[in-house]
Amino acid sequence: MKRVPTTERGRRSLERILEASKKVFAEKGYHKAKIYDIAIGADVAYGLVYSYFEGKKDILAELVRIINHDLRKYLAIRTSGLRDRISVEREGFRAFFEWFRENKFAYRILREAEIADEEIYRWHYRKIAEGYAERLEKAMAKGEVRRMDPELLSYALMGVADFVGKRYILWGDSELEEEKLDELLDALAAMLTPGERASSR
């Protein structure tokens, strides 16, 4: 962003621009989207959009940053106060799916970012993984989670959440039933819980 608004009127205008951008990018895709479409959707002057942003790529990056912040905040609130890591993982997965079900546009924005701005796309996942790995490492030290590379585990768990979410939320041809979700969470809990390690070696 070029600048942050300092007045209430400016903040409202920026909010409308960002809301309109979500819809335009999600519906038309990054490459077909035009600043003109965003200005019309936000009911603001064409030039006002450029007073806040350099262009489409700048807007897309800001949307990814907002998605990242809002998702992490939601997960933190939902898992606050839980005493052990397995409980945190169970509730965290449920919260993740619920957040994306209410914010389906976010999957589409991230998909557009992967194509149009790989740097911000990778930043999004790296930002989540950094904090996730730190918390997993602390849980390993307490004996709550099986010891392994915490960064590797963070990306593995993120991958499960990401693709299950795409299958049952983004593609939307069927629901993730409670029974299926319980089966998934039980399998993840079994994988994470310290104990005898099954191995074919």
Domain contains 70: yes
Do 40 and 75 lie in one domain? The reply is no
Would the pTM count as exceeding 0.85? yes
Yes or no: say if 132 and 60 are a contact pair by the CB < 8 Å rule: no
Domain contains 91: yes
Residue 84, both tokens: 């052990």
Do 79 and 41 lie in one domain? The reply is no
Closest-CA residue to 185 (of 109, 72, 99, 97) = 97
Do 124 and 163 lie in one domain? The reply is yes
Domain contains 38: yes
Q: pLDDT tens digits for the chain (201 residues)? A: 888 889 999 999 999 999 999 999 999 999 999 999 999 999 999 999 999 999 999 999 999 999 999 999 999 999 999 999 999 999 999 999 999 999 999 999 999 999 999 999 999 999 999 999 999 999 999 999 999 999 999 999 999 999 999 999 988 777 899 999 999 999 999 999 997 454 434
Domain contains 197: no
Closest-CA residue to 25 (of 116, 100, 124, 102) = 116
Residues spanned by the domain of 151: 57-192
Q: What's the CA gap between 3 and 25, in Å, rounded?
A: 22
Q: What's the CA gap between 43 and 105, in Å, rounded?
A: 20
Do 49 and 63 lie in one domain? The reply is no
Do 63 and 75 lie in one domain? The reply is yes
Do 41 and 99 lie in one domain? The reply is no
Q: What's residue 198's pLDDT?
A: 43
Domain contains 198: no
Q: Number of structural domains, the chain? A: 2
Q: What is the CATH number of the domain that holds 138?
A: 1.10.357.10
Q: What's residue 199's pLDDT?
A: 40
Name 176's Cβ contacts closer than 8 Å, sequence gap at least 6. 97, 164, 168, 169
Domain contains 82: yes
Do 147 and 89 lie in one domain? The reply is yes
CB pairs under 8 A, 24+ apart, for 13-22? 13/42, 13/44, 13/48, 14/52, 16/42, 16/43, 16/44, 17/42, 17/44, 17/48, 17/49, 17/52, 17/53, 17/59, 18/59, 18/62, 18/63, 18/66, 21/59, 21/60, 21/63, 22/63, 22/105, 22/109
Q: What is the CATH number of the domain that holds 28?
A: 1.10.10.60
Domain contains 157: yes
Domain contains 200: no
Q: What's residue 201's pLDDT?
A: 40
Do 42 and 119 lie in one domain? The reply is no
Do 44 and 69 lie in one domain? The reply is no
Do 34 and 81 lie in one domain? The reply is no
